[in-house]
C-alpha cells in the first residue's frame, strides 16, 4: 500500500493523472491543457473587471460628491451581489441570447468555425465570452463596491487624511494618493480569500453556457464517472488558489511599505 501511495505522489508531482476513462486514450493532462486557457482567460478578465469597477464605484460612493448615476446603480449592484453566478448566467442567457438573440447561446466559438489565428475568429471568441464574463462581473461588483465603501468611510477620519486636507492638497490627489491607496489594501486581501469561491462559480458559469473550459470538462467527467479527470480538476483548482494567495503575499509589501519580510 505504501508503495502505491509513493507512486501516486510521484505521478501527481509530474502532473500525470493517468488516462481519461470516458475519453480513452486521451490523458487527463492533455484534456486540462486544452480547457485551462479558456477558464483562465474568462476568470482573469471577469475578476479584474469586477474588482476594478467595484472598487472604484465603492470609493466614489463614500467620497461624498458621487455622480447621480452611481447613486442609482449602486443599490442595483448591491442587490445583484446576492445572485449566484450560475443564476445570473441563466438570466442573461435567457434575455440576450434566447429572447433578443444578440449573443450566441453556447460554446466558445461558432460551430462552423475552425480555430485559427485570424481576427474574425478572435472576434467570434470574444462575442461568445461576453455573457459568461458579465455573469461573473455583475454578480461581483456589488461585493467589491460595498467593501471599498466601508473602508473609505473608515479612513476618512484618519490623521493622515486630516493632514492632507490641512495642507490644502487638491481633492483628486487626496482621493487617489491617500484615500484609495490605503483603503484598497483589505480589498486585495479579500481577493485572495474569495478566489476559491469565484473559481467555483466560474466553473458553474461555464456549464451554463457550454463554455469549453474546465467546468465543462468537470461536468462530463462527473456524468461519465471519470474519476481521474475529476481528481485532476480538483488538484488544479487547489494549486491555482494556493499559488494565487502566495503571489498576493509576495506583492503585498510593494503595495504597503509598512509590511516587510525579514529574517531575524
Nearest to 145 by CA among 66, 78, 54: 54
B/e letters for 234-247, b = 16+ CB within 10 Å, e = fewer, are eebbeebbeeebee
Contact 211, 42 (CB under 8 A): yes
> SS3 sequence, the chain?
CHHHHHHHHHHHHCCCCCECCCCCCCEHHHHHHHHHHHHHHHHHHHHHHHHHHHHHHHHHHHHCCCCHHHHHHHHHHHHHCCCCHHHHHHHHHHHHHHHCCCCCCCCCCCCCCCCCCCHHHHHHHHHHHHHHHHHHHHHHHHHHHHHHHHHHHHHCCCHHHHHHHHCCCCHHHHHHHHHHHHHHHHHHHHHHHCHHHHHHHHHHHHHHHCCCCHHHHHHHHHHCCCHHHHHHHHHHHHHHHHHHHHHHHHHHHHHCCCCCCCCC
- CA–CA separation, 60 and 247 (whole Å): 28
Q: In this structure, what C-alpha cell is assigned to residue 215?
A: 467546468
Give the pLDDT score at 262.
Answer: 65
Q: How far is CA 220 from the centre of its chain?
A: 23
Give the pLDDT score at 261.
Answer: 65
pTM score, two decimals? 0.82
pLDDT, block means (10 residues), the chain with 264 residues:
82 81 85 87 87 88 76 82 86 88 83 80 88 89 87 82 83 82 83 76 84 86 87 86 82 73 60
Amino acid at each position: 500500500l505504501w508503495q502505491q501511495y509513493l507512486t501516486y505522489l510521484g505521478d501527481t508531482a509530474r502532473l500525470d493523472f493517468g488516462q481519461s476513462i470516458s475519453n480513452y486514450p486521451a490523458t487527463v493532462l492533455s484534456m486540462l491543457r486544452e480547457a485551462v486557457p479558456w477558464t483562465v482567460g474568462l476568470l482573469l478578465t471577469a475578476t479584474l473587471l469586477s474588482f476594478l469597477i467595484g472598487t472604484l464605484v465603492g470609493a466614489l460612493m463614500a467620497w461624498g460628491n458621487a455622480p447621480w448615476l452611481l447613486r442609482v446603480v449602486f443599490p442595483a449592484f448591491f442587490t445583484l451581489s446576492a445572485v449566484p453566478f450560475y443564476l445570473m448566467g441563466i438570466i442573461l442567457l435567457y434575455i440576450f441570447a434566447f429572447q433578443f438573440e444578440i449573443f450566441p447561446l453556447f460554446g466558445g466559438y461558432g460551430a462552423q468555425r475552425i480555430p485559427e489565428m485570424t481576427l474574425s475568429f478572435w472576434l467570434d471568441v470574444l462575442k461568445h465570452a461576453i455573457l459568461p464574463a458579465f455573469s461573473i462581473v455583475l454578480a461581483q461588483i456589488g461585493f467589491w463596491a460595498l467593501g471599498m465603501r466601508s473602508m473609505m468611510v473608515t479612513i476618512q477620519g484618519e490623521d493622515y487624511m486630516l493632514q492632507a486636507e490641512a495642507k490644502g492638497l487638491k481633492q483628486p490627489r487626496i482621493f487617489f494618493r491617500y484615500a484609495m491607496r490605503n483603503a484598497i489594501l483589505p480589498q486585495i486581501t479579500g481577493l485572495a480569500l474569495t478566489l476559491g469561491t469565484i473559481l467555483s462559480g466560474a466553473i458553474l458559469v461555464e456549464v451554463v453556457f457550454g463554455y469549453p473550459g474546465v467546468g465543462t470538462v468537470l461536468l462530463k467527467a462527473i456524468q461519465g464517472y471519470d474519476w481521474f479527470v475529476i481528481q485532476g480538476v480538483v488538484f488544479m483548482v487547489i494549486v491555482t488558489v494556493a499559488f494565487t494567495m502566495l503571489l498576493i503575499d509576495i506583492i503585498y509589501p510593494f503595495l504597503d511599505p509598512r509590511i516587510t519580510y525579514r529574517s531575524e
